[in-house]
């Protein structure tokens, strides 16, 4: 009686489809297979299923039996024969066991039969579909009503409503299909008192929807189901959607991943606190960014800023949003985002990075005079030692590229000796002296405007450090550097020993091929001009957690005195490049920063 009431509710949601056989257009034919046809029908998986249904005693086994029997498409005549045989079985045996399941199987047969016709490109199949679809869909609904009125199986009620959903989707009745879909999710949530059994049933219907060609509705089912269960269960269901999205992402199925991420982001906020949801959204943005999918990353960074700009990581998100725009070469948007960042997040740990990036965007994309003006404005407004000196280097490079070496030198002389840019400044000044003394070609920069570069794969900056005893020419007294398994270096020295560390051959050279495009060449094919190696400028920073350097200058040679206390002290030499080799924004690439660590054991 419980399910009679349920089906009465279902009946109030949906109305019986109107039978409108198109006999005026296509004369109705006798669709029943002849005796001769029955003898010659190809074998089908649902042959003999009627007897199996009658003999079955387990409800779940019956569901599996019918699902497997109709897992393969039969011929039109196969379905006709099955329907005729099933009707005969019900008429001939009033006490037919499991008549509810047989009625369901007949509805399934009609729907599968029409589905097969609709996918057949044959003209006659199309005519046949048009002539019988209303009649057969109505028959299917009648069979489902009969199944529902006589069943005591919760699983069969779910299966029957899944077929109703398919009918309404086929008949373009979205309100009815949505109502049935919501009902299915509710039935699954109440399928059992055991949450694990309900979850198993959810996965069963989820997989069936995917097989039926409704992958988006399969996800939608889980989302609706989550709204009908307790919050903990709901979070588990939604996390599975997120995990599935991650798996599609790893498999490079970006379309499927994007669909799941989007549905997850719409539904998940109802089940997580603000901080947890923000972290999940940031995780998706970071995943896209790391994969070089900057447009998608930008979408989720923007969504984060719209929803969670009051949370502490907002400064990081704002910076990454600007970085994504930079890699998309959306320079106007990049400048706008970075300008806003510098104004809003003056105390952020990402401030220096944002400052340097904005200075670099000006350097790469603006005409020389405008770039100089814009970078100077940044220095005036936001000067800090290292970032301000970085901007001074860029201005010096602009003057250097214009062969205005005196002004370039004036800029370089402003660099603080304790700045990480000091080594780069000295490198440029040495090159200017070489140009003046020997009339040498500039080692840095190129004003070509119609060429572009294609760089070789990443080549690391080679950092070789040689330690010696300060003030001693005896190499035997020099400490010995050994390399550990993790790549770090190790050496032993005595207390208060003075050690000179020298970096050998500190040069960053990037190989590239230079191409040009002849505007008069109709093929527009690039022509290689030359193969070349270009030098980049380097940033240098020394640091140590014990002992003292002789001075604060950031040069390629440093003298360090060991402390008077025994122990292990870590010295780090950080080398980074400017990414300014050759023509700005024409194939320019930036190498990864290199940290060389020396663990110094003081005895």
Over the stretch 170-199, which tens digit does the pLDDT of each residue have? Answer: 889 999 999 999 999 999 999 999 999 999
Q: What is the CA radius of gyration of the chain?
A: 37
3-state helix, strand, coil in the chain (%, to 5): 55, 15, 30
pLDDT confidence tier of residue 440, bands split at 50, 70 and 90: confident
pLDDT of 340 over the 70 cut: yes
* The predicted structure's pLDDT at residue 46: 79
- Mean local confidence (pLDDT), 91-100: 85
* The predicted structure's pLDDT at residue 470: 87
pLDDT of 2 over the 90 cut: no
Token pair belonging to 61: 């086994």
Residue 5: inside a domain, yes or no?
A: yes
* The predicted structure's pLDDT at residue 592: 64
* The predicted structure's pLDDT at residue 474: 65
Mean pLDDT (the chain, rounded): 85
* The predicted structure's pLDDT at residue 532: 65
Residue 567: inside a domain, yes or no?
A: yes
Cα gap 468→474, rounded to integer Å? 9
Cα gap 125→75, rounded to integer Å? 11
pLDDT of 24 over the 50 cut: no
* Domain stop point among 131, 163, 195: 163
Q: Spell out a b/e string for 99-137, using b for 16 or more CB atoms within 10 Å of the CB, else e.
A: bbbbbbbbbbbbbbbbbbbeeeeeeeeeebbebbbbbbb
pLDDT confidence tier of residue 459, bands split at 50, 70 and 90: low
- Mean local confidence (pLDDT), 563-576: 93
Do 119 and 172 meet the contact criterion of CB atoms below 8 Å apart? Answer: no
pLDDT confidence tier of residue 530, bands split at 50, 70 and 90: low
Residue 538: inside a domain, yes or no?
A: yes
Q: What SS3 class is residue 451?
A: strand
pLDDT of 218 over the 90 cut: yes
Cα gap 4→468, rounded to integer Å? 93
Cα gap 353→588, rounded to integer Å? 18
* The predicted structure's pLDDT at residue 29: 40
Listed residue (197, 205, 276, 211) closest to 242, CA to CA: 276
pLDDT confidence tier of residue 17, bands split at 50, 70 and 90: very low
Residue 350: inside a domain, yes or no?
A: no
Residue 8: inside a domain, yes or no?
A: yes
Query: What is the pTM (predicted TM-score) of this model?
Result: 0.69
- Mean local confidence (pLDDT), 67-94: 88
- Burial-class residue 369 by CB neighbours within 10 Å (0-12, 13-18, 19+): exposed
More confident residue, 4 or 501: 501
pLDDT of 37 over the 50 cut: no
Q: Which of 201-215, 318-332, 580-594 is predicted with the least confidence, judged by mean pLDDT? A: 580-594
pLDDT confidence tier of residue 535, bands split at 50, 70 and 90: confident
pLDDT of 446 over the 60 cut: no
Residue 537: inside a domain, yes or no?
A: yes
Task: Say how many domains are in the chain.
Answer: 2
- Mean local confidence (pLDDT), 327-332: 92
* Domain stop point among 163, 196, 228: 163
Which CATH number characterizes residue 562's domain? 2.60.40.10
pLDDT of 454 over the 60 cut: no
Strands 527-536 and 489-493: what pairing? unpaired
pLDDT confidence tier of residue 586, bands split at 50, 70 and 90: very low
* Domain stop point among 126, 141, 163: 163
Q: Which of 101-115, 438-452, 541-555, 583-597 is predicted with the least confidence, judged by mean pLDDT? A: 583-597
Residue 497: inside a domain, yes or no?
A: yes
Structural domain for 527, as ranges? 456-602
* The predicted structure's pLDDT at residue 204: 94
* The predicted structure's pLDDT at residue 512: 62
Cα gap 263→256, rounded to integer Å? 11
pLDDT confidence tier of residue 220, bands split at 50, 70 and 90: very high
More confident residue, 320 or 15: 320
Do 427 and 393 meet the contact criterion of CB atoms below 8 Å apart? Answer: no
Residue 149: inside a domain, yes or no?
A: yes
- Mean local confidence (pLDDT), 228-240: 94
- Mean local confidence (pLDDT), 403-420: 94
- Mean local confidence (pLDDT), 221-225: 95
Over the stretch 99-131, which tens digit does the pLDDT of each residue have? Answer: 999 999 999 999 999 988 988 888 988 899 899
Listed residue (129, 93, 131, 90) closest to 112, CA to CA: 129
């Amino acid at each position: 009686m419980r399910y009679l009431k349920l089906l009465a509710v279902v009946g109030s949601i949906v109305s019986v489809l109107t039978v409108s056989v198109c006999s005026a257009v296509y004369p109705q034919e006798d669709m029943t297979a002849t005796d001769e046809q029955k003898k010659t029908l190809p074998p089908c998986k649902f042959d003999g299923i009627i007897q199996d249904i009658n003999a079955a005693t387990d409800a779940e086994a019956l569901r599996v039996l019918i699902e497997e029997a109709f897992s393969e498409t039969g011929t039109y005549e196969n379905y006709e024969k099955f329907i005729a045989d099933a009707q005969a079985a019900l008429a001939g045996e009033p006490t037919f066991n499991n008549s509810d399941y047989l009625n369901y199987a007949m509805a399934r047969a009609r729907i599968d039969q029409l589905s097969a016709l609709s996918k057949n490109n044959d003209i006659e199949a199309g005519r046949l579909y048009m002539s019988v679809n209303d009649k057969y869909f109505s028959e299917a609904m009648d069979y489902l009503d009969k199944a529902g009125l006589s069943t005591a199986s919760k699983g069969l009620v779910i299966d029957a409503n899944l077929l109703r959903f398919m009918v309404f989707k086929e008949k373009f009745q979205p309100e009815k299909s949505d109502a049935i879909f919501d009902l299915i999710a509710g039935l699954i949530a109440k399928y059992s008192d055991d949450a694990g059994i309900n979850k198993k049933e959810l996965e069963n219907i989820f997989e069936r929807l995917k097989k039926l060609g409704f992958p988006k509705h399969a996800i939608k089912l889980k989302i609706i189901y989550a709204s009908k269960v307790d919050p903990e269960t709901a979070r588990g269901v939604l996390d599975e959607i997120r995990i599935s999205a991650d798996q599609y992402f790893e498999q490079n199925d970006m379309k499927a991943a994007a669909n799941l991420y989007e549905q997850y982001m719409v539904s998940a906020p109802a089940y997580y606190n603000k901080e947890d949801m923000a972290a999940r959204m940031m995780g998706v943005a970071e995943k896209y960014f790391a994969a070089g999918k900057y447009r998608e990353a930008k979408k989720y960074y923007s969504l984060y800023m719209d929803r969670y700009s009051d949370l502490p990581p907002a400064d990081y998100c704002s910076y990454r949003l600007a970085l994504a725009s930079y890699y998309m070469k959306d320079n106007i948007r990049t400048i706008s985002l970075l300008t806003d960042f510098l104004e809003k997040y003056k105390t952020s740990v990402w401030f220096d990075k944002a400052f340097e990036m904005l200075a670099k965007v000006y350097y790469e994309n603006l005409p020389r005079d405008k770039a100089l003006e814009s970078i100077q404005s940044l220095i005036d407004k936001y000067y800090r030692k290292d970032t301000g000196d970085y901007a001074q280097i860029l201005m010096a490079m602009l003057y250097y590229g214009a062969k205005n070496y005196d002004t370039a030198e004036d800029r370089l002389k402003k660099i603080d000796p304790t700045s990480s840019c000091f080594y780069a400044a000295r490198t440029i000044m040495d090159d200017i002296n070489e140009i003046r003394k020997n009339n040498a070609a500039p080692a840095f920069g190129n004003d070509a405007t119609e060429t572009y570069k294609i760089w070789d794969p990443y080549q690391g900056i080679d950092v070789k450090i040689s330690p010696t005893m300060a003030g001693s020419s005896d190499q035997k007294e020099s400490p010995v550097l050994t390399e550990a398994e993790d790549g770090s270096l190790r050496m032993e020295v005595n207390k208060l020993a003075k050690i000179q560390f020298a970096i050998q051959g500190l040069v960053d050279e990037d190989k590239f091929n230079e191409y040009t495009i002849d505007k008069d060449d109709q093929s527009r094919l690039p022509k290689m001009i030359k193969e070349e190696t270009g030098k980049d400028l380097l940033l240098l920073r020394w640091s140590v957690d014990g002992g003292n350097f002789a001075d604060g200058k950031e040069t390629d040679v440093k003298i360090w005195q060991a402390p008077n206390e025994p122990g292990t002290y870590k010295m780090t030499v950080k080398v980074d490049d400017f990414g300014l080799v050759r023509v700005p924004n024409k194939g320019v690439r930036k190498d990864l920063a290199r940290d060389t660590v020396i663990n110094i054991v003081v005895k």
